Structure formats: structure tokens, C-alpha cells
Structure 1
Amino acid sequence: MNALELLLLKLGGSFLLAKFVPYFLLLLLGVGLAWVVFRKLQRMNAKKWLNLSIVFLLALMPFSLYFAAFPIFQGDLLSMGYSPKSNLKFPFETGLVVVALPGCKYCSESTKLMNQIHEKLPGKTQYWVLGTDSLDVLAYDNLLTKDVFCRSALNQKELLPITEGSFPTFLWIKNRRIVKAWHNNEFGVRAMHEIQP
């Protein structure tokens, strides 16, 4: 999440609003800018096709630049999670568990997002690292804030099929059970919005 999205979250917005309001505002800015330029070009008696081309480009430019820097992914538009069948019970009532592999680049990158959003999520946010080496847990622990707990995964044999071999996997826990799961490329603002209180 970028600084503008985080600001909108801090001001009390939902994950969906924080993601899509900047696009809407930039589209309005582009249309306003295009209108001002269009009025000036009309007074200059420039060719009509040139006027319309310039106005069209100006209208879309702020939105397009923002989209290029902060794209909208499929997981931001669609709820792409799945409900794994599992009898696994978790040692806490509600929260988000991120199942990570030692040395996984995408798992390490996901720590930035969790550090930014964990306060807006209900319950605990935890990283469960598959493996037994305490150095692997320490590597993730060093990337996380003190509010996001990191441990070696419990019940690793039962947990592995739930991930479907994709890491990181995000597990939404409610009443000590997995309610929904998302793979890395599916965990967007729609997923965050689903679990946000």
C-alpha cells in the first residue's frame, strides 16, 4: 500500500475505499485539467482534432500515471479466496495467519504489507514458518513489527495441503478454524475488505 492509501486507512476508510478513491480523484483531476485546457484551446482556434487529442490525453494522464505506479490487480477486484476443508484448530480465536516458507522471496515481501495493515485487521496477525530451524523464524521476525507474531508452524503436515503448494498463503481464522484462504496473488483489497470488521 502506498502513502496515500495508508493515509485514507488511518482516516477511517476501508481497504476498498483506500485503494479506489485515489483513482477516482485523479480521474476527476484529469477531467478538470482537460476542461481548462479545452477552454483555452477553443480561444486559440486550433484544429479540432488536435484539441480533442490533447484534451483526451490530459483527461487520462493523472489516472494513467497513478495506475502505472500502483496497479490494480485481479485480487483487488475479485474475491478469489477458497475455503479449505480442514479440522485444524488454531490456538487463538480470530486472526490472520500467513503461512511462509524459509527463504521465500514473496513471503518476505508480504511482511511489508502486514506491518502496514495489521492494526486494521481483527484479532492477531501471525506468521507461521514451515520448517524447524529457529533461524528461519528469526529471519521473518526481524522483518516484522513487534505487534506481528512469528513462530514455527504448528501441525505442519496438516497445514501443507491447505496451502496447495503456494506461498505465502493467507488464512483467515475465526472461532479457531480456517474460514477462508488466499494465495499470494489473490490476497488483495477485496480479501482485506472481507476480513475487516
Structure 2
Amino acid sequence: MYVPAHFAENRKDVLHDCIAQHPFGTLVTQGKSGLDANHIPFELAAGEGELGLLRAHVARANPVWQDVANGDEVLVIFRAGDAYISPNWYPSKHEAHKQVPTWNYVVVHAHGRIRILDDERYVRGVIGRLTRTHEAMQPKPWKMADAPKDYTDTLVKLIVGVEIEITRLVGKSKLSQNKEERDIRGAGEALISSGESPIGDAMLAAADEKAR
């Protein structure tokens, strides 16, 4: 990924937080059948290994778990939002007219080594933790015990575990940091007013940082 210095995000805690807040990643593999991409919710174990571990599961019917070998290099892409930026939102455009459209976004690339775990205990652990995390905001959180045991036992056998040791994290926050503070703020406020709050809020934070 091309990352100009003014868009680079290198802080591990910020990158981990981005993954935790946006855990639905794109797993990119280069296996025996060639290039492939699968869209999977991940659990981040931030404190394990130098850069953390990613844990997930895939359907047994998905050929990806047989297409790769343990130790193969893979890439997981986590997107934290994106938005089109109109030059009309930059105050300086109305003075010098020297602005063009762009697209802003926040993304984390987690490079790592994959391991396949065809292990029922591991799979149950991943499912249980993912469920607790994503059900936590529900009025009455669902748990595996809510379903009949024979039903969940059958489904668990149709799942294979995946673990990825993160070896490199690359973060990019493209939020118009190469613009004037007033232009960053103007575009951020325009995004928020149009309902694009995630990137708009991030741009206002970037404007505040530039103003310091």
C-alpha cells in the first residue's frame, strides 16, 4: 500500500483499536489455487506476540483452509470508513480555485503468517468470544447455550479455525492532512452534515491536531 508520510499511522495502539472497532476484515491469500479474498469477522488478541494475533473461523466448505499451508504469508485488510471529498468543501477553493476532488479513508493492513486449526475446542472458543463481544450491546445478549446443544454441536463441526500471527502493521489515515487546517475542518463539517460522521469526525480530529 502506498502511504505518503502525512497519511501514515504507525502507532500500534491506534492500529489495534481500529481493528477492534472494525473487526470485519478481508483475508487475502495466495494459495495453491491462486489469489483469493474472503470476508471474515476477526478477534484481535492484542497482547499475544509482538504485534498481536488474529483469530477467526471459516466454513469447512470454504476451500481457503485447504488452499493455504501453515506459515503462508497472508494479508488482512480492515476498513474504518471512507468518503468522497468535494473541492467545494474547502474554503480555500473559493479563493484560489486550486482544489480537486479526492476520497478519504482509514485503513489498516495486517500482514502475517496463517495457521489452520481444525480443532473443535479452538473453534468453540473463537465463536464464544466473538458472540460475547458483538452481542454485548443487545438488551438480552444471545449465547450459544440458547440454542439446542445437538444443533450447535452439528454446526461447530462445519467450521474450521484460523489464526494469524501479525508480523507487520501498516496504517493509513487519509484525512486531508496535506491541506490547510481550515480546509480539513470545512470538509469534515460538510461530511458530518451529510451523515458521513465517521470520516467527518476523524477529519475534525485531524484539524484539531494540525491547529496545535
The alignment's TM-score, normalised by the length of structure 2, stands at 0.21
Q: Which has more strand, going by share of residues?
A: 2
Q: Which has more helix, going by share of residues?
A: 1
Which entry has the higher C-alpha Rg, 1 or 2? 1
The alignment's TM-score, normalised by the length of structure 1, stands at 0.22
